């Protein structure tokens, strides 16, 4: 069995020159007992992933594999083509159905939230996109890992100051790729990527143990 990952930069393997900036998919192998094949890439939308990587991902699927799918960050920037209840969910539906046709389990993920605080509370930044994924999972009777809910809880539980450590904040001169410094509340530091990967692994294991008997809304929030 192999885990295949489809997603954007918040999922993608790190670039060595950009470390410690990384997506959570790079650290998933630490927490699962099967190979991980991460095809996620920075800037990906459901449309660009289907064009550039999907055929390669599908070609590697064997019966019994699992395909984990997480988009939304970049799709929301193209609302005409990739509306939450239009092109975005149409493409997610295609990914899920084609994965299933190869004998794989397709797991849908909502987007990891951005770290945008208003006081002690996180401001949602993905609009209707997470709800569209939740509704699609219900429609398809597909398992769901709700990263929007989990990451919102995680950031708020840590608080505005401590949650900064999950992300890439560099002072001027601290990192050669960003000599003027970086204040990035979207892309994870390896600390944050590792924390998210651990949660995804626990959620996926719970879904696997349930052997398909969990309701379609799946793992919405596991705080441990």
Cα 106 from Cα 31, distance rounded (Å): 19
- Residue 13, pLDDT score: 97
Say if 130 falls within a structural domain: yes
Say if 116 falls within a structural domain: yes
Say if 222 falls within a structural domain: no
pLDDT at residue 222 is higher than 70: no
pTM of the model: 0.93
Helices 190-210 and 147-162, packing angle to 10 deg: 150
- Residue 208, pLDDT score: 87
Can you give the residue range of the structural domain that contains 162?
3-210
Say if 203 falls within a structural domain: yes
- Residue 217, pLDDT score: 35
- Residue 122, pLDDT score: 98
Mean pLDDT of the region 164-181:
97
What percent of the chain has pLDDT above 70?
Answer: 94
Mean pLDDT of the region 42-62:
98
Say if 218 falls within a structural domain: no
Q: In this structure, are residues 132 and 152 in contact, taking their beta carbons and an 8 Å threshold?
A: no
Mean pLDDT of the region 110-137:
98
Cα 92 from Cα 106, distance rounded (Å): 10
Domains: count for the chain: 1
**What is the β-pairing status of strands 182-188 and 167-170?**
antiparallel
Q: In this structure, are residues 23 and 43 in contact, taking their beta carbons and an 8 Å threshold?
A: no
- 218: pLDDT confidence band, cut at 50, 70 and 90? very low
pLDDT at residue 216 is higher than 60: no
Calculate the CA 86 to chain-centre distance: 20
Looking up residue 19, the CATH number of its domain turns out to be 3.40.50.1110
- Residue 211, pLDDT score: 55
Say if 123 falls within a structural domain: yes
Of 3-7, 125-129, 197-201, 210-214, which range is least confident? 210-214
Say if 30 falls within a structural domain: yes
Say if 140 falls within a structural domain: yes
């Amino acid at each position: 069995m192999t885990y295949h990952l489809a997603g954007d930069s918040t999922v993608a393997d790190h670039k060595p020159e950009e470390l410690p900036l990384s997506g959570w998919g790079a650290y998933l192998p630490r927490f699962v007992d099967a190979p991980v094949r991460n095809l996620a890439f920075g800037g990906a939308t459901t449309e660009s992933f289907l064009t550039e990587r999907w055929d390669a991902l599908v070609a590697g699927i064997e019966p019994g594999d699992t395909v984990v799918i997480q988009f939304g960050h970049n799709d929301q920037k193209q609302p005409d083509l990739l509306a939450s209840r239009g092109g975005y969910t149409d493409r997610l539906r295609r990914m899920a159905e084609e994965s299933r046709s190869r004998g794989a389990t397709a797991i849908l993920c909502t987007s990891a939230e951005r770290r945008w605080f208003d006081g002690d509370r996180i401001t949602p930044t993905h609009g209707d996109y997470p709800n569209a994924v939740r509704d699609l999972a219900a429609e398809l009777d597909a398992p769901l890992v709700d990263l929007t809910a989990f990451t919102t809880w995680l950031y708020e539980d840590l608080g505005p100051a401590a949650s900064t450590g999950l992300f890439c904040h560099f002072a001027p001169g601290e990192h050669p790729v960003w000599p003027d410094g970086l204040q990035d509340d979207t892309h994870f530091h390896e600390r944050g990527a590792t924390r998210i990967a651990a949660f995804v692994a626990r959620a996926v294991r719970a879904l696997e143990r349930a052997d398909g008997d969990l309701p379609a809304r799946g793992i919405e929030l596991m705080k441990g």
